[in-house]
Amino acid sequence: MKQPTFPELLRDPVMLLAFGFGSGLSPKAPGTFGTLAAIPFWWLLQGLPPGWYLGLVIAAALLGFHLCGAAAEKLGVHDHGGIVWDEMVGYWLTMFLAPAGWGWALYGFVLFRLFDIAKPPPIRWADQKVHGGVGIMLDDILAGLFAALVLQLTALFIV
């Protein structure tokens, strides 16, 4: 398995998106850098009506099934660490209906990374048992949903 270079990503739109516009090339913690790359996109999305926001995130997830599967196939490995489109979608799910503000963006970031790294059940099951592009995406979708639930409960009692 060869790590792609940024110029190689620029020549392949599937790999460019799957690698989070290059953020997945980080030699350390590519998932964290992929999640960080999702924040500017969230900032653009946050002002949309909830139906539009959720529709775009669902579209990004559906696209991710293809992107992540195709990238994994090109790299010859199930879930290459540099494939971070799944982290981006997971963060956007975390931030659905989140209160405005950078404090909440940071809180959502931390929550998502905690669920993504710790992988409590059923996230761990999805990570281990579901394969292909769906498998790559599913554990991060679940982590995003768990993080969103905690964020929303926190907001309910704080705001």
153 and 94 Cβ atoms separated by less than 8 Å: no
Pick the residue with more confidence: 55 or 79? Answer: 55
- Integer Cα distance of 85 and 17 in angstroms: 7
Domain membership flag for residue 94: yes
- Integer Cα distance of 83 and 89 in angstroms: 12
Q: How many domains does the chain have?
A: 1
Mean pLDDT of the chain: 95
pLDDT > 90? residue 159: no
Domain membership flag for residue 1: no
Domain membership flag for residue 109: yes
pLDDT > 90? residue 1: no
Which helix H or strand E contains 74, and what residues bound it?
helix 50-75
Average pLDDT rounded to a whole number, residues 18-30: 96
147 and 117 Cβ atoms separated by less than 8 Å: no
Peptide bond preceding 49 in cis form (omega within 30 of 0): no
- Integer Cα distance of 105 and 40 in angstroms: 10
Whether the model pTM is above 0.85: yes
Domain membership flag for residue 13: yes
Average pLDDT rounded to a whole number, residues 119-146: 94
Q: Which residue do the tokens 């999805």 mark? A: 126
Residue 134: give the domain boundaries: 6-158
Domain membership flag for residue 47: yes
Integer-rounded Cα radius of gyration of the chain: 15
